[in-house]
Amino acid sequence: MILRIPSGIPGFDVLTSGDGVGGIPENTVTLVYGPPKVGKSIFCYHFMYNGLLQGEPCLYITSDYGLKQFQQNTRDFGWELDNYFQDETLCLIDAISSVSGSKIVDTPTYLSSSVHNPTDIMVKLGVGTRFISQKSARFRSVLDSLTTLMAFNQEMLIVRVLTAYIMRIKEDGGTAVVTYTEGSADSKVETMLKAVVDNVIHLDGNEITIEAMVGTGKKKSSYEITDSGITVGE
């Protein structure tokens, strides 16, 4: 019996339901990949926000959008995050604001880091995972995106960092989604990414493909992005 948690994406959980309740298998790591601008980050916002609504805290590592942009992006879909920062169920590791020169003061739920410094990201990850996993035995985590980390660092180093990240999240009982832009790294590295995660989901702008998922065969469906986020199927 494989436990699954809801993704928060309308249609997705139906797509992934076999004989039971669909969703993302608990305590696994899912890679969401595809070309640029097909909704990978939106997928992550859904996953995070749905968890927060159900009282599952989230550790979110952002390397593409700084705090302000991140909040704006989610607000576009009507998802307000302020409350969750305040009640300390959302912890953000911001690896990009410091690069653009913005100075934001660290709080228990806002940790500034840098895409240039994977070691520091790992330190913050340790702090963040401890903080979040103490809140709840069941929690979610997002790493958006590997692409940016790989652009600023040796690709293989990021594979090793990802391996450690996966191990930590799973050991503490979390479920994670990581994103990657198709074709941005060496093809050997890309294959390795698919190998180290549990589930692989491909988005191409029109179709979502479940390439691999624990307990689910290959699945495919159309999807669209509207004001309320991603909708899978008709």
Partner 1 sequence: MKKTYIPKLDDLLGGGILEGVSIMFCAYPGVDCEAFGYQMLNGRVEDGDRGFIFTNVAEPETIQYEFNSYGWNLESFIDSEKVFFVDGSSSFLGAPSESKYTIQDYAEVEDVILDAINDIPKGIGIINNLSVLIDYMGNGDTIDIIKNWNQKAKENETTLVYIFTEWDYDTGLIQKIKESMDCVVDLTTIEERVIIGQGFMVARASWTEPVETMVLFFVVQPGGVKVYVPKILVTGPYNSGKSSFVKAITTESVSVDRKALGAFPTTIAMDIGHVDYKGFLADVFGTPGQERFDLILNVLSKEAVGAFIMVDSTAPKTFARAKEMIRKTRAEAIPKIIVANKQDLPDALSPEEIREKMKLKKDIPIIPAVVTEKKGIEESLDALLKLLYGD
Partner 2 sequence: MKLYESGVPGFDALLGDVGGIPENTVNLLYGPPKVGKSIFCYQFMYNGLLQEEPCLFITADYGLKELQQRTMDFNWFIQTHMQQQNLYVIDLLSRLSGKKLEDSANYKISSLQNPTDMMVKVGTGTRAVFQKSTKFRSVFDSLTVQFAFNPDHLVLRVLKAYINRIKEARGIAIITHTEGTVESKIEDYLKNTVDNVIYLDGNNITIEATEETQEVKAPYTIDDNGISIG
| CA count, 13 A, side-chain hemisphere, 227 | 1
Dihedral angle computed from the Cα positions of residues 144, 149, 155 and 160, in that order, rounded to the nearest 10 degrees: -70
Residues at the site binding partner 2, with contacts judged by CB under 8 A? 2, 27, 126, 156, 159-160, 163-164, 167-168, 170-171, 187-188, 191-192, 194-196, 200, 211-212, 214-215
> Could you say which of partner 1, partner 2, none residue 161 binds, taking C-beta under 5 to 8 angstroms by partner kind?
partner 1
Binds 151, which of partner 1, partner 2, none (CB < 5 to 8 A, cut-off by type)? none
Task: Name the minimum Å distance from CB 113 to partner 1.
Answer: 12
All residues at 6 or more sequence positions from 148 whose CB lies less than 8 Å from its CB, including other chains: 63, 64, 95, 96, 115
Our CB check for partner 1 shows the closer of 120 and 224 to be 120
List, in sequence order, the alpha helices (H) in the chain: 12-15, 40-53, 67-75, 82-86, 118-135, 146-152, 155-171, 187-196
Contact (CB, 8 A) for 27 and 171:
no
* Residue of 137, 157, 167, 195 interacting with partner 1 (CB under 8 A): 157
How near is the Cβ of 138 to partner 2 at its closest, in Å?
A: 15
List the single partner that 171 binds among partner 1, partner 2, none, CB under 5 to 8 Å by kind.
partner 2
Q: Which stretch binds partner 1 (CB under 8 A): 35-43, 78-86, 128-136, 155-163?
A: 155-163
Task: Determine if 152 is a binding residue for partner 1 (CB under 8 A).
Answer: no
Alpha-carbon gap, residue 229 to 8, rounded angstroms: 10
Cα(132)–Cα(229) distance, rounded to whole angstroms? 26
Region of 131-139, 140-148, 156-164, 193-201 interacting with partner 1 (CB under 8 A): 156-164
| Whether 180 contacts 193, CB under 8 Å | yes
207 vs 211, beta carbon nearer partner 2 = 211
In whole angstroms, what is the distance from residue 106 CA to residue 95 CA?
12
Could you list the residues that contact partner 1 (CB under 8 A)? Answer: 118-123, 157, 160-161, 164
